[in-house]
A and B are shown apart, each in its own frame.
Chain A
Amino acid sequence: MVLELQKPRPIWQIMFSTHHTDIGLLYTIMSLAFLFMGGALALAIRVEMFSPGPQFIADSMTFNRIFTVHGTNMIFLFLLPFASAVGNYFIPIMVRYKDMAYPKLNAIAFWMLPPAAALVWLGFADFGWYAQPPYSAISAPSPAAEMWIFGLKIIGVSSILGAINFIVTILKCKHPDLPLSKVPLLGWSFLSSSLIVLVAIPTFAAALLMLLTDRLGVTGFFNPAMGGDPIAYSHLFWFTFHPEVYVLVIPAIGMMYEIIPRFSRKPIFSHSSGVFAFVLLSIVSFASWAHHMYATGMSFTEKTVFMVGTLAAVPASAMHVFNFLATMWGGRAKYSTPMMWSVGGIALFFSAGAGGVVNTAMPLDFITHDSYWVVGHFHLFVFGTIAFGSFGFLYYMFPFITGRMYNELWGKVHFVLIFIGAVLVFFTQHILGLYGMPRRVFDYPEIPEWIAMNQIQAVGAVLLGVGMTIFLVNLIYSSAKGKEANMEDPFGLGGKYYYPYQAKNPHHD
């Protein structure tokens, strides 16, 4: 399973290639670049919040723009493209096909992202990553808001094209000898998340157009002064973006399904239970969107319906956790870097899920809503679970992409720093939320508990910054100068569970 190893080629040959591993490499490099850029913004936010009063960010407008671009960037320009990178590398190999179903479409989907990223970053909008009207419709400054809207529009089209490509590749291009039920769980995770994208994204695409015409003043869909309803936007937005959470988390779980059995040197506990949980999660992901909106004045009945819909998503997630633990149980686990990230990710996934049950219980939601608790909660998902799974998988792919090994010791140091940093920042945010601190504030009053907890977070953020710097140096140094990997068994695992689908790929020998 050599993913990329070819003779060194000039960069433009990779850039103009339509081959799945080349597109995968482009996705990887781009998503990592935006990871570090978005991380720098996060560090700026945490340092600014170190104590009350302005520290080094000049005004609240700059601060508001920073958290908006941080959120938009991390979701759409790091997590989504990184999942596409993994899918591009692995899906064709897993279904034993020579490439993605539509190679040119694949390249187009990738090349839509750089212009979209330019719009988001150069615009630097200020309305938060969910652009809630009426603020975004009547108050947010131009042209940043329009640039954000067009940027997201392009990203949405790109996601849909990518999703179509994954679905067709898996369903139509898989080898005739390979029944769908035997497709590895990583393949199933991409099938599930791509189907969610197809159903969910068009709703937001429509909402974005309506927001744009509202801003132009020709319509008033979300503007109460013109008879519109801002809460309608919230419904459209969360109908897309609650399932979108699963679009991000399902591939990350799929990546863990690749790593956990391999590094436990034991077959997966239950393939069919993993498949079942993915399919179930994809369906119930559409039953819970309005749990983001309890405080908008929903009726008791509405809240009850969405609470039940949200709780229904928990058993499927719990099945994945069980499957991981049962796979590791009695295995001969080898805690190389990818395994450490996966196990850490599962621990934080469990914590995030437990916090989610608190959020969805109606009376408790009114305590946590729009406070720092929520920031901590979703970061445990997007960072603690999805980014952890992604980092682990990147270490896992590294020898197959570069032919060299990363530095194992520094990989582990990276994990330890990030794990401690993540716990310090995101667990503290939960408690800070219970003390009533609102999210998205540039400054805060001198409440001793708030100051203490913001300072703990700043320490955690610095650990995260140091850890990510080590990561960056390790990636760059090892890809050029790392010791050559033993391509038969780069992680020294041995055993027959190593690469069960080591398919001959016509493009790579």
Chain B
Amino acid sequence: MSGHSNWSEWVYIGVVVALLAWVGAEAWNIERLVEHVPENAEVIKVTGQQWFWTFEHEDGTKETGELHVKKGVPYKFEITSKDVIHSFNIPDYLVLMDAVPGRINTVWFLPVDEGEFPIQCREYCGLIHYNMRGTLYIEDGA
């Protein structure tokens, strides 16, 4: 390069690249584990529309704006939308997946604590996006 030694820059670049490789490998490994849906997961069909969520359980029961699940049972959400793109989000369980019309996206979670948790929309979807909220009720299933 311009006449003087650049070894320090090469060392620095090496450290940066090594850090990035580590972040990438960890992310790859964790995502692979997180995306693996348990065999016994119960399916819940989630439909977003302006501006509320509806849920359909495996046994056919439907709920609107509220979702009741049992503690300790893994659930697989099959998420879609009837109109525009929404994003299904349970922040306390880090569940996030877009509800895209014409597609079914899946994500799963395992409820561990009893209680009430917020459900919200994380993708801008129009007039009442800010209030497209629901409640997740985790109950003792025993």
Q: Which residues of A contact B (CB under 8 A)?
A: 60-61, 64, 126-128, 132-135, 138-139, 224-225, 229-231, 270-273, 295-297, 300, 303-304, 307-308, 311, 314-315, 318-319, 322-323, 326, 357, 360-364, 366-367, 369-371, 435-436, 438-445
**B6 contacts A445, C-beta separation under 8 Å:** no
Task: Please determine whether B23 and A138 come into contact, CB atoms closer than 8 angstroms.
Answer: no
Residues of the B chain whose Cβ atoms lie less than 8 Å from the Cβ of A445:
118, 133
Task: Indicate whether B61 reaches chain A with its CB closer than 8 angstroms.
Answer: no
Chain A residues with CB under 8 Å of B120's CB are 436, 438
Inter-chain pairs besides A307-B27, A357-B20, A370-B123, 8 sampled, C-beta below 8 Å: A61-B127, A139-B126, A295-B97, A297-B97, A436-B118, A440-B124, A440-B129, A444-B130
Chain B residues 73 to 124 lying within 8 A of chain A, measured CB to CB, are 83-85, 87, 89, 91-92, 94, 96-98, 100-103, 105, 118, 120-124
- The 4 residue pairs across chains A and B that have the minimum distance between CB atoms: A436-B91, A224-B102, A297-B105, A361-B27
On whether the beta carbons of A357 and B31 are closer than 8 Å, the reply is no
* Beta-carbon contact of B13 and A315 below 8 Å: yes
> Which residues of the other chain, B, contact A224 by a CB distance below 8 angstroms?
100-102
Q: Give the complex CA separation of A231 and B99 in angstroms.
A: 11
A307-B27, A363-B30 known; A443 vs B98 contact (CB < 8 Å) = no
How close is A330's CB to chain B, nearest CB, in angstroms? 12
A366 with B17: in contact, given A318-B12, A443-B131 (CB under 8 Å)? Answer: no
Interface residues of B (CB under 8 A from A): 1-2, 6, 8-9, 12-13, 16-17, 20, 23-24, 26-28, 30-32, 34-35, 50, 83-85, 87, 89, 91-92, 94, 96-98, 100-103, 105, 118, 120-131, 133
Complexed CA–CA distance, A361 and B83 (Å): 30
Residues of B within 8 A of A322 (CB): 9, 12-13
Are B84 and A139 in contact (CB-based, < 8 A)? yes
Check if B121 sits within 8 Å of A363, measured CB to CB: no
- In whole Å, how far is A242's beta carbon from the nearest beta carbon of chain B? 18
Contact B24 A361 (CB under 8 A): yes
State whether A230 touches B100 (Cβ < 8 A): yes
Q: How far apart are A363's CB and chain B's nearest CB, in angstroms?
A: 5
Once the chains bind, are A363 and B31 in contact (CB under 8 Å)?
yes
Closest CB of chain A to B4's CB: distance in Å? 8
Q: In the complex, A322→B129 CA distance in Å? A: 43
Shortest Cβ gap from B36 to chain A (Å): 10
Q: How far is the CA of A139 from the CA of B49 in the complex (A)?
A: 12
In angstroms, Cα B77 to Cα A276, docked, is 46
Answer whether A361 and B9 are a contact pair too, CB < 8 Å, given A134-B85, A297-B97, A436-B91: no
The reply to whether B20 and A369 form a contact with Cβ atoms under 8 Å apart is no
Selected from A60, A273, A364, A370, the residue in CB contact (under 8 A) with B87 is A370
Closest to A312 in B: B20
The minimal Cβ–Cβ distance linking A249 to chain B, given in whole angstroms, is: 18
Residue in contact with B13 in the complex, picked from A133, A318, A361, A440, CB distance below 8 Å:
A318
* Least distance between B11 CB and chain A CB atoms (Å): 10
